[in-house]
Amino acid sequence: MSEAVRAYTVRLELVDEPGELLRALEPIAANGGNLLSVLHERGNLTPRGRIPIEVDLEAAPERFDVIVESLRDTGVNVVQAGAERYGEELVVILSGHLVETDLSETLTRIQRPGEVSVMDVSLSAPSGTSDVSSARLRIATDSGGIDDVLDSVESLAEEKELRVITPLTEADA
């Protein structure tokens, strides 16, 4: 009998060439994994000069081992593969000139590998990217880390002159 589906995080290093991200994601789908999020840090490089990728996925435990083996068989450098550690989530809304203040950089600064991950982003820019926009962020953190994450988000928002609506519970979302 198959075990229940669990969440996992896989950290990869990819060469900066066209098609490498797709090549890394194909074994996940082909072996029964369900993608939850992909953090592609193209602006950063690992000490080996590669691009760090963090993939959050769901899979049955017996399928996860096959996924990791398949990634390695295709030549993808798997840096870390293991159970998802995040124990709590919060949802916040940022509002303001998100695009002009570099939303990508904002998301990168919120995240702390192994501690905090932005799991989902929904951006709304009804008047175009040069006007006020809003983003709904679903952030996962270690158990007991919500207050620290919230303080970081509020500090970053103040620095970038953004408004924060926090926290939303799952019932509110």
Set out the domains of the chain in order of their start, with CATH numbers: 6-83 (3.30.70.260), 88-168 (3.30.70.260)
DSSP secondary structure code for residue 131 in this structure: S
As a residue count, the chain comes to 173
> According to the model, what pLDDT value does residue 84 have?
52
124 contact partners, CB below 8 Å, separation of at least 6:
133, 134, 135
> According to the model, what pLDDT value does residue 85 have?
56
> According to the model, what pLDDT value does residue 11 have?
86
d(CA 69, CA 135): 36
Burial 107-140 (b: 16+ CB within 10 A, else e): beebbeeeebbbbebeeeeeeeeeebbbbbbbbb
> According to the model, what pLDDT value does residue 90 have?
84
- Per-residue pLDDT of the chain (173 residues), as tens digits, is 456 888 888 988 899 899 999 999 999 999 999 998 898 877 777 767 888 898 989 999 889 999 999 999 998 888 878 755 566 778 899 999 998 999 889 988 998 766 788 877 888 988 888 889 999 988 888 777 888 999 999 999 999 999 999 765 544 44
DSSP secondary structure code for residue 112 in this structure: B
3-state helix vs strand vs coil in the chain, percent to 5: 25, 40, 35
> According to the model, what pLDDT value does residue 88 have?
77
DSSP secondary structure code for residue 5 in this structure: P
